Structures are given as structure tokens and as C-alpha cells.
Structure 1
Amino acid sequence: MLSVRKNIPKTLKILFILGFGYFFWLMLKITWEYVPLKTDVSFLMIKQTEVTSRPEYLYFFYTHVYTSIFVLLTGFLAILRKGLGIKDLHKNIGKIYIFLILFLAAPSGIYMGIFANGGICSKISFVILGCLWWFSTLKAYQLARQKKFRDHQQWMWRSFALTISAITLRMWKVIIVYLFHPDPMDVYQIIAWLGWIPNILFIEYLIARKLL
């Protein structure tokens, strides 16, 4: 599951580790803003309509935010399992990763996608993202149960590519705002798609080249 093949250059691995560590720290800072359960900070400041008119929205929001940070971490640790030398690490954290996505992070993300900013264009993208995230993770789990580990590994890479959309979405937002200064709603419509489509295309390229 999610093993890094030897034919991927070592430099790329190091850059991946350093890059992920930095952006995970940033995501952790964002998550910490909602501890304790605050409703008037960061992203929730522009979601007050949902906060006040849909009591269930906060439950889905906090579920998504709090579980997604652990999904990021467990997915990353699964990649590094060989270097950590802990017996059965991959299998155990893989179970946590799959459980969190299938039962908590993806379903709550799909619900939030229905109320995404940026109009119908953004809503469609985030709902598709959530559904693909859920399906790719389920498919990986099924293949592991069938002991088809090569196929399992590739589907887990697809799942993780969608997982890190939480990071790449914010990267694209910074780049687009810095370069073009568009209207905020236009930004949402753009990053809603850019956050995950390049990720999955890159993984498909690596799979096609037999690098994963």
C-alpha cells in the first residue's frame, strides 16, 4: 500500500518528505484555529449562513476538519513505513486511513461540497472529489482483501492524491491570488478543480510509466 518504488529518484522522495512536512504543519495550524469548537474564525466566517440556518453543518464541518488532518498523517506514514522499522505499521495505519475516509472524512466532505462557495461549478467539483475519494479508498480496501496488492497500491496512490487536495487547493489559491487578484468567488471556482485534477493526472502518469 502506497509504497515508494525504488525507481523513483531519491531526490524526489526527499523533496516529497520535506514538502509534505511543511504543508502538513500549515494544515495543522489551520486545524488548530478551530480548537476549541469555534464558529467565528477563518473559513467559518464566510459560512455564517450555513452555521445559523443549518445546525447539522457544524457537525459535518468539524468531522471533516478534525479527521482530515489524521488522514493526511496516516497516509503519509504509510508511504514511509519501510524506513520506520515498525512491524505491521503499514497494515495498522492503513486501516485507520481507510476507516477515517470511508466513514467520516469523505462523507462529511461530500455534504460540505453541496454548500461550497463559488456556485454550482464549485459544488459539482467538490462533490465529485468527495465521491472519487471515497470510491478510490473503498476500491483499494477491496483489492487488499483480495490480496491483489499491486492493484491495491495503485488505488491507494489515487486515494492519497485526492487526500492531498486539501494542500494543493491552498497552494493554487495562493498562486492565483498573488498573480491575478481575481474575485474571491472566481478563485473558488478555479481552485475547486485545480485542487485535485492535476494530482490525479500526475498519479495516472506515474502508474502508466510503471513508477508506482
Structure 2
Amino acid sequence: MQFKSSASLVRWLLTPFVRVAPTPVQVVLLLLLAAFAAPVFLVVEAPLLLGLDQAWSARIRPYGWLLHLHAACGVLALLTGPFQLVPGVRVHYPRVHRVLGYVYLSTIAIAAPVAIWIAVFHIEPAERLASVAQALLWLFTTLAALVAIRATDVATHRLWMARSYALTLTFVIVRFTTEVLGFRFPADAGGAAAMIWLSTVCVVLAADAIVAFWRPAARPAPRGPAARRSA
């Protein structure tokens, strides 16, 4: 391939990025995601990964490898999810969209059952039901998105994917609220379990609202000569 100028080469290199450029609303949402995720990683996750919290390391020792597997899959789902929701990727690069979709599905198919196992055998009884329910809902919404796209029902697939990724975000939201901001419900108000329930309900409602907001309005049926020509 030959280029007449350096400008044409630059345009050719930038074409994929221009094609997948997110809408202004999506840019805002991605910036919000980064604003939540960056402090969580720096304040919460990095010290744990580096073994700086000895009390935490001792607590998770019996199931540490499972927790790290769950976290790794969760992070991969967190990173691949936005590419599934940006229209430019699925329109111009459907194969990339499909491959990343199966990566996203695979990570949740691992992370959700591991989360259930950890919840049942290793976390406090007060949080057990909420954690298991959240993981089951995470797995169910993801599988529902898969079933919908296999049936070529794009609108339903889009809705369930939004719900699934919203539940993926609870990993970040809960830690940002409790560990970065230091807000926790008191024990007599439900404690950590109440935070899990509240975050689950809120993110699913937010996902439904966003999908409804982005859905394009139906075009009116043609009238007059245009209608006769299309008949």
C-alpha cells in the first residue's frame, strides 16, 4: 500500500480509532469508570497484591488462589466489557466484537461460580446470601445475553449485556464506597450485606435506564409518493 503523503498515512492509521470512537455520553461513562477504578486499584487492590496488608493476607490464606482467580477474571471482564458496549466496534469490527464477547462470557463463567464457592465456605454468614445472589444474577444476566444473541435478538442482547456489565461494575463501586470513601452501613442497618443488595439493585436499574435512553426512536412510516414507491 502506497501513501501520497504523511498526512494520508496518519489518516489511514487513525481510521480504526475514528470508526470505534464512542459517543459523548459513552465518553462520560468511561471517564466515570476510570475515576472509580483508579482509586480502587491504588488504595485497595495494589497493597493487597503486593502483600502490604498482613492481616488480609492471613485471612485469605485458605482460599487465596481462588480469590485471585476470581479477581483476575473480574478485571478482564471489567476491561473487555466497554468494547462490547461501544457501537463502533460491533458495527465496523464484528469479529473483534464476537471474540471479546466470548472472552467476557468466559471470564464471568469462571468468576461467578468461584465467587459463590468463596461466599458459601469462606465469608461471614451475614453476607453469604447477598453475595451468592449477586453472583447468580451476574451469571444469569450474562447467559441471557448469550441466549439472546444466539437467537439474533439484538435489542434483548444489548439490554442483558448492559445489566451484566453493570453487575461487573459492582466490584469497583462497592470498594470505592467502602474502602476509598469509608462509608459503611452500620450493623443494625444490614452492614456489608445491605451494601451488596443496594449496589446490585441500583446498577441494574441504571443499566435499564441507560439502554432506554440510548435506544433510537422508531422512524415514522413513509407517506404519500415515497410510500407508494417503496410498496
Identity among equivalent positions (%) equals 20
> 2: distance between equivalents of 1:152 and 1:191?
28
The within-5 A match list for 1:17-166 is: 17-29=30-42, 30-33=44-47, 35=49, 40-42=51-53, 45-46=55-56, 48-49=58-59, 51=61, 54=62, 57-80=63-86, 82=88, 86=93, 88-102=95-109, 104-115=110-121, 117=123, 119-166=124-171
Deviation at 1:46, TM superposition (A): 3.9
Using the size of structure 1 for normalisation, the TM-score is: 0.74
CA contact (8 A) 1:110 1:130 kept: yes
CA contact (8 A) 2:40 2:180 kept: no
Distance 1:26 1:139, change over 3 A: same
CA contact (8 A) 1:81 1:89 kept: no
Distance 1:17 1:50, change over 3 A: closer
CA offsets per residue over residues 56-113 of structure 1, 9 Å max, x none? x1221111111111110000122235169645221111110001111x1111111222
Q: Alignment RMSD, CA only? A: 3.1
Deviation at 1:204, TM superposition (A): 3.1
Matched letter for residue 83 of structure 2: L
> 2: distance between equivalents of 1:158 and 1:32?
28
Pick aligned residue for 1:204 from 200, 208, 211: 208
CA contact (8 A) 1:162 1:196 kept: yes
Deviation at 1:131, TM superposition (A): 0.5
Partner residue in 2 for 1:3: none
Deviation at 1:142, TM superposition (A): 1.6
Deviation at 1:13, TM superposition (A): 2.4
Pick aligned residue for 1:195 from 193, 199, 211: 199
> 2: distance between equivalents of 1:74 and 1:199?
18
CA contact (8 A) 1:121 1:189 kept: yes
Structure having greater relative contact order (Cα 8 Å, sep ≥ 6): 1
- Count residues with an aligned counterpart: 190
Q: Which runs of 5+ in 1 are unaligned?
A: 1-9
Pick aligned residue for 2:26 from 4, 7, 13: 13
> 2: distance between equivalents of 1:77 and 1:26?
22
> 1: distance between equivalents of 2:102 and 2:159?
16
Using the size of structure 2 for normalisation, the TM-score is: 0.68
CA offsets per residue over residues 21-72 of structure 1, 9 Å max, x none? 233334544444455xx6x544x73473552xx4xx1221111111111110
Q: Secondary structure at the match of 1:164?
A: helix
> 1: distance between equivalents of 2:122 and 2:195?
12
Distance 1:116 1:200, change over 3 A: farther
Q: Quick check: which has more Rg, 1 or 2?
A: 2
